[in-house]
Amino acid sequence: MALEVQIERKLHPFTLDVSFMAGDEPLSILGPSGAGKTILLRCIAGLERASRGRIKLGDRVLLDTTKGIQIPARNRRIGFLFQHFALFPHRTVAENIAFGLQNLAREEQLRRVTSLLTRTHILGLEHRYPRQLSGGEQQRAALARALAIEPQALLLDEPLSALDTHLRSQMEAQLQETFATYRRPALLVTHNIEEAYRLGGRMMVLSSGKIAAFGATEDVFRRPTSVEVARLTGCKNFSRARMISSGVVEALDWGCQLRVSHELARTPAHVGIRAHEIDFVEAGSPTAAQENVFPCWLVGSSETPFRITLYLSLRQPAGAREEGAQIELQAEVFKEKWRRFREQPRPWHVRLSADSLFLMPD
Average pLDDT, integer, range 289-318: 88
Distances (CA, A) of 45 to 74, 146, 151, 155, 196: 9, 12, 11, 8, 21
pLDDT of residue 97: 95
- Asked whether residue 87 carries a pLDDT value surpassing 70, the answer given is yes
Domain identity same for 41 and 188:
yes
The Cα–Cα gap between 103 and 121 comes to 26
The answer, yes or no, to whether residue 322 has pLDDT greater than 60, is no
Predicted TM-score (pTM) of this structure: 0.89
Final residue in a domain of this structure, among 161, 196, 227: 227
Q: How far apart are CA 226 and CA 273, in angstroms?
A: 13
pLDDT at 161: 84
CATH number for the domain spanning 17: value is 3.40.50.300
Amino acid at 127: H
Kindly state whether residue 253 falls inside one of the protein's structural domains.
no
The DSSP symbol for 288 reads G
* 213, 331: one domain: no
Q: Is residue 320's pLDDT more than 50?
A: no
Does residue 39 contact residue 17 with C-beta atoms inside 8 Å? no
Same domain, 122 and 209: yes
Q: Alpha-carbon distance 178 to 224, whole Å?
A: 29
Q: What is the pLDDT of residues 178-228, one digit of tens each?
A: 999 999 999 999 988 999 999 999 999 999 999 999 999 999 999 999 999
So what's the pLDDT on residue 289?
66
Parallel, antiparallel or unpaired: strands 69-70 and 60-64: antiparallel
Looking at the 3D structure of the chain, how many domains does it have? 2
Same structural domain for residues 210 and 301?
A: no
CA-to-CA distance for 236 and 325, rounded, in angstroms? 18
pLDDT at 323 over 70: no
Mean pLDDT of the chain: 92
Rg from Cα positions in the chain: 25
Measured distance CA(65)–CA(176) in Å, rounded: 35
Query: Distance between CA atoms of 251 and 269, rounded to whole angstroms?
Result: 10
Neighbours of 103 (CB within 10 A): 8
pLDDT digit string (tens) for 247-287? 999 999 999 999 999 888 888 999 999 999 999 998 767 76
Domain that holds residue 303: 275-351
61 & 153 share domain: yes
d(CA 312, CA 328): 6
Domain assignment present for residue 302? The answer is yes
Has residue 282 been placed in a domain? Answer: yes
